[in-house]
Structure 1
Amino acid sequence: MRISARNALKGKVVDVKKGATTAHVRIDIGGQVVTAAITNESAEELGLAPGKTAYAIVKASSVMVGVD
C-alpha cells in the first residue's frame, strides 16, 4: 500500500457496525481505539471484520495538539 498521508496507524479491527449507509469501524491501535465512519460498501470491499489488521489513516490540512 502506498499513500500520501503521513499518519497511517496500524491496528486490529475490534468492531464494525453497519447502519443504513455508513459503517463505524473501530480499530485498536496499541490500546487506544480509533473510530472511522466509512460507507458500508467500502467496509465490505475491504473485508473489514473483527481481528483483521487495518490502518487508520489520518489526512488533514491541520493537526491540533493539546496537553493537560
Structure 2
Amino acid sequence: MAKASAKAKKENAIVRYFKATHSELKKVRWPTRQEALNLTLIVVGVTAFMAALLGLIDYIFAKMFSLIFR
C-alpha cells in the first residue's frame, strides 16, 4: 500500500513538472526568423573574428619563441 502511494506521488510530481514546463514555455517570447538569423550571424562573425585573433596571437608567440630559443 505504501509503495503504491509513493509511486502515485512520484508520477504526480513528474506530471506536475511537465505541466509547469509547458506553462512556462507558453510564456516565452520566441524570436522571429529574422531575429534568429541576425543573432546567428553575429555569433558566427564574432567567433570567426576571435578565432582569427587568437590564431594571429599564437603565430606571433610561436615566432617570438623560435627567435628566442634558437
Output the TM-score relative to the length of structure 1. Answer: 0.15
Say which one has the larger Rg. Answer: 2
More helix by share: 2
Output the TM-score relative to the length of structure 2. Answer: 0.15
More strand by share: 1
